[in-house]
Amino acid sequence: MRGRDAIAVALRHPDGRIVYATERLDSGFHGSRWAKLPFLRGLIVLYETLFVGTRWLVRSASVQAAGSGEEGDEGVELGKGSIALMLGLTLLAGVGIFFLLPLLIASVTTSKIDNGLVQHLVEGLIRVAIFLGYLFLISLAEDVRRVFKYHGAEHMTIHALEAGDPLVVDSVRKYPTAHPRCGTEFLVVVIALSIVAFSLVGRQEPAVMIGSRIALIPVIAAVGYEILKWGAKHRGNAIVRAIMYPGILVQMITTRQPTNDMIEVAIVSMEEALKADGETLPLGSGTVPRDGLDVPAAPKAAEGAAGGAAATTDVVGTGGAAVTIDPPLPGA
């Protein structure tokens, strides 16, 4: 869970305990005036999310391995260079599969059609099909289904916090697994924006079209973040709800109904994120047992930090969920 100035991570240890850790957001940009500028702030949040998320995925895996008696060390820590390499390879694969592959297929299949708009429409439809197909295929894996359950628990906990309910299993359980600021919805917005942006480029030489797909990705991501924030603030408007509804539908794939023990993990993560930012827990919260996780070289979040926005979801997913990005609560 991401707060204003810190993140909190909760894990279900192999021995059954819930362990947690908090750390400050220290990307070098966080808290600066650059981090508050529209469009640029989305890229900074994305940067922080990717680095923090990757680091905690590795840490959580090492805790699981060590606790299960496998080869592993709870003190495993990746350096920035290793994280950058992992992210670079991952992003390279993502750009190739979700942006360049649709361009290649559309260019070949529409090569004899003079109307460039047809190519862009076909490219967009292929990109949507690949995206949805990818989510559906990975959802068939048992481990990923478990991840999606944790994802649902995360969103349900956020709903309970926003409603002012105590953060206990019975209160959280009544809320839906979909949430309007989910990273899945961000990806849906990015896909939709890419169709519009690339159509403006038009049919050009292959090198220009490939270059435009790569160069426009950060622009599309920055605009997508602002649209997501705007949509979250105006969700009460029926037209806005209709426009953003595809993101809710896709969450039918990326979230599942969690078990009670998964909800407990999400609650601990939320509560520790709130405390790390100096927030007061909702009345009746703080009942789930937990133990601190000793993480070498991980700066602990200072208790009693200045008050401000409540925590948000999906900095590292939950319990090892895929890295996603959720913007702060309205007014944050």
Q: Examine the pLDDT at 37 and tell me if it is beyond 70.
A: yes
Residue linked to tokens 């100096």: 278
**Average pLDDT of the residues in 189-209:** 88
Give 24's strand partners. 6
Share of the chain above pLDDT 90, in %: 52
Length of the chain equals: 332
Helix axes 217-233, 40-67, angle to 10 degrees: 90
Which of 201-210, 242-251, 292-301 comes out lowest in average pLDDT?
292-301
Between residues 73 and 278, the one the model is more confident about: 278
Phi-psi category of residue 16: left, alpha or beta, with phi > 0 → left and psi -120 to 50 → alpha = left
Classify residue 100 by its DSSP letter: I
Between residues 77 and 33, the one the model is more confident about: 33
Instruction: Pick from 164-178, 230-244, 295-309 the range whose average pLDDT is largest.
Output: 164-178
pLDDT of residue 83: 75
At residue 147's C-alpha, the angle toward residues 322 and 41, to 5°, is 30
| Dihedral sign for Cα atoms in the order 85, 49, 139, 226 | negative
pLDDT of residue 304: 39
Q: Examine the pLDDT at 238 and tell me if it is beyond 90.
A: yes
Structure tokens that stand for 255 in this block = 């979230």
**Average pLDDT of the residues of the chain:** 83
For residue 25, the SS3 value is: coil
The string of pLDDT tens digits covering residues 130-162 is 999 999 999 999 999 999 999 999 999 999 999
Task: Work out the number of other CB atoms within 10 angstroms of the CB of residue 183.
Answer: 27
Dihedral, 225, 228, 233, 236 alpha carbons, nearest 10: 170
**Average pLDDT of the residues in 223-240:** 90
The string of pLDDT tens digits covering residues 272-323 is 999 999 999 999 999 999 999 876 554 444 443 333 334 444 433 333 333 3
On whether the CB atoms of residues 66 and 74 are closer than 8 A, the answer is yes
Structure tokens that stand for 134 in this block = 């990818």
For residue 18, the SS3 value is: strand
Q: Examine the pLDDT at 327 and tell me if it is beyond 80.
A: no
pLDDT of residue 307: 38
Dihedral, 81, 224, 39, 103 alpha carbons, nearest 10: 60
Instruction: Pick from 29-38, 76-85, 237-246, 320-329 the range whose average pLDDT is largest.
Output: 237-246
pLDDT of residue 76: 54
Q: Examine the pLDDT at 30 and tell me if it is beyond 90.
A: no
For residue 265, the SS3 value is: helix
Phi-psi category of residue 88: left, alpha or beta, with phi > 0 → left and psi -120 to 50 → alpha = alpha
For residue 76, the SS3 value is: coil
pLDDT of residue 75: 52
pLDDT of residue 314: 43
